[in-house]
Structure 1
Amino acid sequence: MNAARLPFARFFAALFVVALLAGCGFKLRGSNGTYNMPFHSIYVGFPDTSPLGTELKRNLRAADSVVIADKPEGADAQLVVMSEARGRQILSLNNLGRVREYLLTYTFTFRVTDAKGAQLLGPTEIRLSRNMAFSEQEVLAKEAEANLLYRDMQSDLVQQILRRLAAMKPAAPAATPAPAAS
Structure 2
Amino acid sequence: MLNKKWLIWSALLALACLLSACGFHLRGASEFPFKTIAVVGSETTPMGAAIRRNLRGQANTQLLDNENEADVVLQILSERPEKVILSLTVQGLVREYTLNSYLTFQVRNSYGKIYLPPTTIVLHRTISYNENVVLSKASEEAMLYKDMQGDIVQQVVRRLSVLKMD
TM-score range, shorter chain: 0.7 to 0.9
CA contact (8 A) 2:78 2:105 kept: yes
Q: Does 1:43 align with 2:41?
A: no
Question: In angstroms, what is the RMSD of aligned CA positions?
Answer: 2.0
Matched residues, percent identical?
37
Contact 2:42–2:76 (CA<8 Å) still a contact in 1? no
Match of 1:82 in 2: 77
- Could you tell me which residue of structure 2 aligns to residue 96 of structure 1? 91
2:115/2:164 contact within 8 Å kept:
yes
Aligned positions, number: 161
* Counterpart pick for 1:127 among 117, 122, 127: 122
The CA deviation at 1:164 is 0.6
**Runs of 5+ unmatched residues, structure 1:** 173-182
**Equivalent position SS for 2:143:** helix
Separation in 1 of the partners of 2:12 and 2:63? 45
Radius of gyration: which is bigger?
1
Q: TM-score with structure 1 length normalisation?
A: 0.81
- Structure 1: distance between partners of 2:89 and 2:14: 52
Distance 2:13 2:155 in 1: 33
| Structure 2 unaligned residues grouped into runs of 5+ | none
Q: Does 1:168 align with 2:166?
A: no
Matched residues in 2 for 1:149 and 1:12: separation? Answer: 45
- By how many angstroms is 1:19 displaced? 3.4
CA–CA separation in structure 1 for the residues paired with 2:84 and 2:100: 8
